[in-house]
Chains A and B, each alone.
Chain A
Amino acid sequence: MRAVVLAGGTGGSMEALTGPRPKTWLRVLGKRLVEYSLEGLVKAGVRNIIVVADGDYSDLASELTSKYRELVDLRIVEQKAPGIEGALLSARRHVGEGEPIVLAYGDIVAPPGFYSSSIAAYNASSSEALMALTPVASGLQTYGVVMVEDRRVTSIHEKPKERVESTYAYGGLMVVPPTFFEMVRDEGSMALAMRALIQKVDVDAYIWSGPWYDVDEPWDLLRAAVGLLDTMGETRISSSAKVPESVTLDGPVIVEEGAVLDHGAVIKGPAYVGRKAFVGMNAFIRPYTDLEDSAIVGSHTEVKRSVLQPRAYVASFCYITDTVIGEEASVSPYVLTLNVVPVVKAPPRFEDLVLGASKRVKLGSIIGSRSKVPPRAALQPGTVVGYGEILS
Chain B
Amino acid sequence: MCGIIGIAAQKGNVVPLIIGGLKRLEYRGYDSAGIAVVSGRSVSVRKGAGKIEHVVVAKGFEELSGTTGIGHTRWATHGAPNDANAHPHTDCTGSIAVVHNGIIKNYAELKEELAARGHRFSSETDTEVVAHLIEEELRRLGSFQQAFREAVKRLEGSFALAVLYSGEPDKIYFAKKDSPLVVGLGRGANFLASDIPAFLEHTRRVIVLRDGEAGWITHSDVHIENVYTGENVYVPGRVRTISWSPSMAAKGGYPHFMLKEIHEQPRALRDTFYGLSSDESLVKAAELLASANNIYVTAAGTSYHAGLLFDYYMLRLAGRTVRAFIASEYEWFKDVPGSDDVLLAISQSGETMDTLKAVRLFKEHGARIIALSNVYESAIPRESNVAIYTRAGPEIGVAASKTFLTQALALLLLASHVAKFSGRLTRDEMAGIVSAASTASKLAQRSIAVSEGVVRTVAKWFSKKGNAYILSRGIGVPIAMEGALKVKEISYIHAEAYPAGESKHGPIALIEPGFPVFFLLVDPHLKELKGNVMEMKARGASVIAVGPPRSEILSEADIHIPAPEAQPLLEPFTLTPPLQLLAYYTAVSLGYNPDKPRNLAKTVTVE
Contacts and interface: CB of A to CB of B under 8 A. Distances in A.
A191 B584 CA distance: 33
Q: Interface residues of B: mostly helix, strand, loop or mixed? A: helix
Interface stretch (B236-244, B489-497, B521-529): B236-244
Contact of A168 (B206, B252, B449, B514): B449
A116 to B, nearest CB: 7
B398 interface: no
Contacts of A264: none
A45 interface: yes
A250 B444 CA distance: 45
A126 interface: yes
A136 interface: yes
Interface stretch (B144-152, B430-438, B456-464): B456-464
Contacts of B263: 151, 207
Interface string A116-134: 1101111111100000001
A117 B249 CA distance: 11
Interface stretch (A142-150, A289-297, A323-331): A142-150
Q: Give the residue among B263, B457, B460 with the most A Cβ atoms within 10 A.
A: B457
Contacts of B206: 123-124
A126 B208 contact: yes
Nearest to B451: A167
A137 B454 contact: yes
A126 B454 contact: no
A62 interface: no
Contacts of B311: none
Contacts of B516: 356
A258 B357 CA distance: 70
Contacts of B456: 135, 137, 209
A165 B450 contact: yes
A166 B244 contact: no
Interface in B440-498: 445-446, 449-458, 460-461
Nearest to A126: B208
A124 B240 contact: yes
Q: Give the residue among B206, B244, B585 with the most A Cβ atoms within 10 A.
A: B244
Interface in B529-561: 542, 558-559
B558 to A, nearest CB: 6
Task: Name the interface size band of chain B.
Answer: 35 or more
Nearest to A116: B243
B320 interface: no
Nearest to A148: B449
A356 B542 contact: yes
A167 B450 contact: yes
A12 to B, nearest CB: 25
A138 B456 CA distance: 11
Contacts of A206: 253
B453 A168 contact: yes
A390 interface: no
A201 B542 CA distance: 46
A136 B460 CA distance: 13
A123 B240 contact: yes
A270 B237 CA distance: 48
A165 B446 contact: yes
23 contacts: A44-B243, A120-B242, A120-B243, A120-B248, A123-B241, A123-B243, A124-B206, A124-B242, A124-B253, A126-B208, A135-B456, A137-B458, A138-B454, A148-B449, A150-B267, A151-B263, A165-B450, A167-B454, A207-B263, A207-B452, A355-B458, A356-B461, A356-B516
The 9 nearest A-B residue pairs measured at CB: A167-B453, A137-B457, A135-B453, A126-B208, A135-B452, A356-B461, A123-B240, A121-B253, A352-B457
Given A124-B196, A137-B458, 8 more contacts: A123-B206, A151-B263, A165-B446, A165-B449, A165-B450, A167-B454, A355-B457, A356-B559
